[in-house]
Amino acid sequence: MSTKLNVLKHVMVPDHKIMSEEEVSALLSHYNITTEQLPKIFHDDPAVKTIGANVDDVIRIVRMSHTAGRAEAYRLVIKRPKK
């Protein structure tokens, strides 16, 4: 068995970082939105589990963009709804 898989190392997985409270409020006031309006990510997403984020955290994702070279995106961690 190889060492435990680190999903963040995979080329298809961009950088995930938990944002601090100040960063989140700056982000929300900049776009004039609430956290509910952000795209979502489930709490059991492999990348979320790896960085150890909890429900209601906001995650900053730094993507390698095809057009801009580098692009930031934000996702709110939510609980996976039961089927």
Partner 1 sequence: MPLAEKFDKKIEAADLPKKTKDQLHKFLDDKEITDSQFRLILERVLKEYLSTRIEACEAVGVIAAQSIGEPGTQMTMRTFHYAGVAEINVTLGLPRLIEIMDARKEPSTPTMTVYLEEEFCNDRDRAREVSWQIEAAPLHEFGDITTDMENMHVIVHLNTKVCDKRKIAPAEIMETAPRKIRDRRHYRDFEHDVNEETATIIFSPKNKESYQNLFQLAEHVRNVIVQGIDDILRVVVRKETGEYILYTEGSNIKDVFDVVGVDTTRTRTNNISEIASVLGIEAARNAIIHEAVSTLNEQGILVDVRHIMLVSDMMCMEGEVKQIGRHGIAGEKESVLSRAAFEVTVNHLLDAAVANEVDELSGVTENVIVGQPIQLGTGDVKLIAVRQHDN
Of these, 2, 29, 34, 54, which contacts partner 1 (CB under 8 A)? Answer: 2
Q: Tell me, residue by residue from 37 to 56, as one string, x for binding to partner 1 by CB under 8 A and - for no binding.
A: --xxxx--xxxx--------
Contact by Cβ (8 Å): 41, 48: yes
Q: Which of residues 6-35 bind partner 1 (CB under 8 A)?
A: 6-7, 9-14, 16
Q: Tell me how far apart the terminal alpha carbons of the chain are, to the nearest angstrom.
A: 33
Contact by Cβ (8 Å): 72, 61: yes
**Residue 83 CB neighbours (<10 A):** 3
By CB under 8 A, name the binding residues for partner 1.
1-2, 5-7, 9-14, 16, 39-42, 45-48, 61, 63, 65-71, 75, 78, 80
